[in-house]
Structure 1
Amino acid sequence: MLEFAWPWTFLLLPLPWLLRLLLPPADSGEAALKVSFLDELESLAGRRARPRLPGWRRQAPFALLWLLLVLAAARPQWLGEPLPLPSSGRDLLLAVDVSGSMDYRDMQWQGETISRLSLVQHLLGEFIAGRNGDRIGLILFGSQAYLQAPLTFDRHSVRRWLDEAVIGIAGKNTAIGDAIGLAVKRLRQRPADSRVLILVTDGANTGGEVAPLTAARLAAGEGVTLYTIGIGADAEQAGAVGLYGLNPGLDLDEPLLREIAAATGGEYFRARSQDELRRVARVLDRLEPVTQAPTTVYQATPLYPWPLAAAVLLSLLLVLHELWPQWPPQLSRRRR
């Protein structure tokens, strides 16, 4: 199916004729000599007299050239068969804590001790890749919350942005309430039965302007289901004792995370190790998809190069037509 991306461009078609009517004729300011026997002079000079054409025939090539240029500017394109996008799935936002405590190296990944954020990047990256049909977004929060990736079907880009997250990029504190509030703001424009927020943190709310429970009640009112994940090893686990003998896992406010999830009809998960976090991802991956409005896209093949190339070719032919009467005398003189 033929379609023009910018059909309003055709309004420019009468522009040359309007300019000719509205603007005064060009005046060089020099005296002009009109010779009635110009054809005879050209024949005596060895030049072939060009036959005089009616006015509309002289203007036809230039009118065609202008039409081709306007046609190319209108961006014609051929729309192929409709390609359906996934019509079921959820609008799912991931809110990941990137505060200073997420840098604790108390997690194991393939026999290597890594930080909490690194483990989240590994396993949630796999989770993102498997959410076929969902719109995925990413929020990073510390002292403040930032939307790193809006809701999109491009799961590859969201995973890359998660992998590029660094500790402290949003501040050293933990603003859980602000992260929930930002997610609600982004999800409220989507269908009410498909709004999901997964919040991953290893601490308590130590910053921000919105109280977490207040934000959770707001999320419940907007139909957002909130799943919270508390990450961090226990004190008795190897490598769990941080600097000065303090256990970083003590900072985790599990009662608050449970209450936040319960207020929205979601669940709280505890992830003390790689295996537990992987199990959490599998549970979340079993979320039932919901039917949304079907979405279709068309593969568009641009066609503007064809009229543009025809305009260039016609311009060259017009130039050759203007120069052609001068060529035979020059060629004959060169042969002599």
Structure 2
Amino acid sequence: MLELQWPWILALLPLPMLLLFMNKTASKQSEAIYWRFSRVLSLNSSRKKARFSRYLSATPLTLAWCSLVLGISQPTWLGEPTKIPPTGRDLLIALDLSGSMQVTDMTSNQTPINRLQAAKNVLEEFINERRGDRVGIIVFGSKAFLQAPLSFDLNTINQLVQETQIGFAGEQTAIGEAIGLGIKRLEDKPADKKVLILMTDGANTAGRVSPLQAANFAAKEDVIVHTIGIGAEKMIVQGFFGPKEINPSSDLDEALLTNIAELTGGQFFRARSLDELHAIYRTLDELEPTPSEEVFQRPVTSLFHWLGLLSLILLGVAMLVSGNVKLRRKSNAV
């Protein structure tokens, strides 16, 4: 669809004819403006051949003026609307890959699974629901690494999550470094909201960055950190004197994770089972909803430069034709 940004410019189209009409009463200053049109469009000659030559000269000059005025009116061509991803949040998920994540204290369909597998199962569903958000993955153990940069390609993000393995980042737990890396990847991003979801089953045992220092800096950078402590509180293991009950999450520092969430405006969640983990991510979907409105964009192409080029070409043709007319007049006079 063609659209004119300044349609009122088209009112200048009859200006040359108006100047020609005022030729007899116009001042010399006005003559300096319209003299070219006057000479080309003059119809005083009675000879048909001369009259035809003048018409021939006037046509490209008139078209050049029309093209110029139309170009100045800023015509644009609007293409078909295309759907684009709505801009929502920049959301990073920091996943603990330390050695303790291999503890098998979760169940799925009455089958024992380790903590990492439980996290993968829930994250797959959660990530698929984040249409409109850019999602990225950080993995951390003794150090923190970026597994997947922020992207709208949720299928690739999910694939990279499923490829993670315990011990990839070391056996210890560097919570402070994971938060610090998240802040670095989220800084200067234009998203409406920047969110980091940190999932761990232990305490900070590695890294040079203090988790609370990192949390304070995250608050200054307007990064919300939600923390999830994963791991059951009861587990039956086989001891020397028979089965006994232990707490496999005794190392989980709930107080630290709570402080991190409170400092950044987030929430702390406790996942003791796979069902609780599912419920936590459903809550996070409500706390950090994705954009619901579809966003469409129409490509806009400016036609100004094409019309300007056409005007220059027609002006050149008019000058060439006018020059030929002059040469013919001189040859006929001779």
TM-score (norm 1): 0.60
In the alignment, structure 1 residue 271 sits paired with structure 2 residue 266: no
Return closer, same or farther for 1:277/1:238 CA change in 2, 3 Å cut-off: farther
State the alpha-carbon separation in 2 of the partners of residues 171 and 244 from structure 1: 30
In the alignment, structure 1 residue 248 sits paired with structure 2 residue 248: yes
User: What runs of 5+ residues in structure 1 fail to find an aligned partner?
Assistant: 2-78, 299-336
Q: CA deviation at 1:240?
A: 11
State the alpha-carbon separation in 1 of the partners of residues 165 and 244 from structure 2: 24
Deviation sequence 1:275-303 (CA, Å, 0-9, x none) = 100100100111234799x78597xxxxx
Contact preservation (8 Å) 1:106, 1:240: no
State the alpha-carbon separation in 2 of the partners of residues 155 and 189 from structure 1: 22
Q: Which residue in the other structure is 2:121 paired with?
A: 122
Contact preservation (8 Å) 1:95, 1:179: yes
Return closer, same or farther for 1:238/1:182 CA change in 2, 3 Å cut-off: same
Which letter maps to 2:111? E
Local SS of the residue matching 2:128: helix
State the alpha-carbon separation in 1 of the partners of residues 186 and 238 from structure 2: 36
Q: CA deviation at 1:192?
A: 6.1
Q: Which residue in the other structure is 2:289 paired with?
A: 288
Larger Rg: 2
Superposed, 1:114-153 pairs within 5 Å as 114-153=113-152
State the alpha-carbon separation in 2 of the partners of residues 271 and 252 from structure 1: 11
State the alpha-carbon separation in 2 of the partners of residues 246 and 169 from structure 1: 27
State the alpha-carbon separation in 2 of the partners of residues 227 and 268 from structure 1: 6
Local SS of the residue matching 1:276: helix
Q: CA deviation at 1:110?
A: 1.2
Q: Which residue in the other structure is 2:101 paired with?
A: 102
Contact preservation (8 Å) 1:225, 1:265: yes
Local SS of the residue matching 2:249: helix
Deviation sequence 1:195-239 (CA, Å, 0-9, x none) = 00000000000001100000000100000000000000003x556
Superposed, 1:154-193 pairs within 5 Å as 154-191=153-190, 193=192
Which letter maps to 1:263? L
State the alpha-carbon separation in 1 of the partners of residues 130 and 208 from structure 2: 32
State the alpha-carbon separation in 2 of the partners of residues 188 and 240 from structure 1: 48
Q: CA deviation at 1:84?
A: 3.1
Return closer, same or farther for 1:97/1:229 CA change in 2, 3 Å cut-off: same
State the alpha-carbon separation in 2 of the partners of residues 285 and 202 from structure 1: 22
Contact preservation (8 Å) 2:141, 2:171: yes
Tell me which stretches of 4 or more aligned residues in structure 1 moved more than 4 Å: 237-241, 243-246, 289-292, 294-298
Size of the aligned set, in residue pairs, is 218
Q: Which residue in the other structure is 2:68 paired with?
A: none
Q: Which residue in the other structure is 1:261 paired with?
A: 261
Deviation sequence 1:81-134 (CA, Å, 0-9, x none) = 452322232110000000000000000011110000000000111100111111
Local SS of the residue matching 1:230: strand
- When the two chains are superposed, the root-mean-square deviation of aligned CA atoms in Å is 2.8
State the alpha-carbon separation in 2 of the partners of residues 255 and 211 from structure 1: 14
Superposed, 1:188-227 pairs within 5 Å as 188-191=187-190, 193-227=192-226
State the alpha-carbon separation in 1 of the partners of residues 201 and 125 from structure 2: 20
Local SS of the residue matching 2:204: coil
TM-score (norm 2): 0.61
Return closer, same or farther for 1:86/1:239 CA change in 2, 3 Å cut-off: farther
Return closer, same or farther for 1:183/1:110 CA change in 2, 3 Å cut-off: same
